[in-house]
Chains A and B, each alone.
Chain A
């Protein structure tokens, strides 16, 4: 139930979408690009989103691309998480996707929407951070490709009128040994206390986290401590936790101290499972 009116547009090409955005923006419509729509609809009901026009990107072929046998893999931003799970081109991403919302909702929630929406956990970003994926972005000045991580500072830095078209993931990286865990306050329901995605490349662990801070992150400092094999594992983990960015979330789902405690446990599990925890 949306308590205000908007116009709905369904462009068939990238150029049509960006031109529509520019025209609607000129008309003062404050347009929004629209993927699965779950967040726009639910936040509209709460009056947390307002727009006079939505531009649905699901009919743009590039946004729906799923090239699972190409190198790099091409993953369209308008693919539903459920579709990604079933095709499973990138197992670590599948594991992250499976922990978002529920199975039916994931038939609608898109990869781009999970990453670009307002809800800040953005857990499908984590596998893309550690795989050092590229992101393809379309906007008023055309199409650009950059390293996803370089453009993500607390959130993806998109200019006005830009939208994510695709992600590209190196094929060999997508099959590396990996680790994924999501811990919630209670069972299988709710937002994360801590979510960790990690993979190991050339003996080095790469790790990204969500639920610790009000944004997901991958940190060079944190990884340097975790990979410092001159020190015992306990010390490495403590140094890594101390190097987390701030602020640490402290809310009804979990206190800051508890989140850090859970994160340390998960880092230990991760090092052990990735064969790096022999001196625990």
Chain B
């Protein structure tokens, strides 16, 4: 049986192929941050509770502290560095939806996926999704306002990607 614990992985991150030698037991969060220098996803609780580490794997929000990097081989990973002028980023700035900003990348990735997946999200769906992330500075109202603004704008311009 194969004994080596380190392996070379080829990951697709933010539209680029990145190869890295890493422990098979390493989480996606640490491979992104320490291996690939993508420090946007934040380590918070490392226990699946806070959502600061949220990234998208094939468009689905995932807590990267609870997924092995090796599980994502063959999938498309999007971190906050991969968002380019997404409407939710501007809405966060407009609504001042952060204070210290530590939770912001996780919130934005989750909110971005929500907007893409459920452009007609109702109040309950918005709440259900946003409950996955914690903000210690309690910018919750501003975050909710930012998400709703983007959803409204999208409804008004349904052909916009």
CB neighbours (8 Å) of A188 from chain B are: 131
Known contacts A1-B27, A5-B5, A7-B5; decide if A108 and B63 are in contact (CB<8 Å).
Answer: yes
CB neighbours (8 Å) of B67 from chain A are: 37, 41, 108
A153 within 8 A of B: no
Contact A2 B27 (CB under 8 A): yes
Give CA–CA (A56, B24) in the complex, Å.
12
Known contacts A27-B1, A37-B67, A45-B47; decide if A5 and B23 are in contact (CB<8 Å).
Answer: yes
CB neighbours (8 Å) of A42 from chain B are: 47-48, 66
CB neighbours (8 Å) of A6 from chain B are: 5, 24-25
Give CA–CA (A246, B5) in the complex, Å.
44
Q: List 14 A-B contacts (CB under 8 A).
A: A2-B25, A2-B26, A5-B23, A6-B5, A7-B3, A7-B5, A41-B65, A56-B71, A102-B132, A103-B131, A104-B133, A105-B132, A107-B61, A188-B131
Give CA–CA (A5, B4) in the complex, Å.
9
Q: Which of A8, A27, A45 has the most CB of B within 10 A?
A: A8
* Chain A nearest CB, measured from B113 CB (Å): 9
* Chain A nearest CB, measured from B74 CB (Å): 10
Name the CB-closest residue of B to A188: B131
Given A24, A82, A108, which contacts B66 in the complex, CB threshold below 8 Å? A108
Name the CB-closest residue of B to A53: B1
* Chain B nearest CB, measured from A5 CB (Å): 4
CB neighbours (8 Å) of A104 from chain B are: 51, 54, 61-63, 110, 129, 132-133
CB neighbours (8 Å) of A143 from chain B are: none
Contact A107 B62 (CB under 8 A): yes
Sample of 16 further A-B pairs with CB below 8 A, known A8-B24, A36-B66? A1-B27, A2-B27, A7-B2, A7-B3, A8-B68, A8-B71, A27-B1, A29-B1, A41-B27, A41-B67, A102-B132, A103-B131, A103-B132, A104-B133, A107-B62, A108-B63
CB neighbours (8 Å) of A56 from chain B are: 71
CB neighbours (8 Å) of A105 from chain B are: 48, 63, 66, 132
Interface membership of chain A positions 48-73, coded 1 if the CB is closer than 8 angstroms to chain B and 0 otherwise: 00000100101000000000000000
CB neighbours (8 Å) of A53 from chain B are: 1
Q: Which of B3, B25, B60 has the most CB of A within 10 A?
A: B25
CB neighbours (8 Å) of B63 from chain A are: 38, 104-105, 108
Give CA–CA (A56, B68) in the complex, Å.
11
Give CA–CA (A166, B30) in the complex, Å.
33
B160 within 8 A of A: no
Name the CB-closest residue of B to A9: B2
A151 within 8 A of B: no
CB neighbours (8 Å) of A146 from chain B are: none
A4 within 8 A of B: yes
Contact A37 B110 (CB under 8 A): no
Contact A102 B131 (CB under 8 A): yes
Interface membership of chain A positions 76-107, coded 1 if the CB is closer than 8 angstroms to chain B and 0 otherwise: 00000010000000000000001001111101
Give CA–CA (A38, B63) in the complex, Å.
9
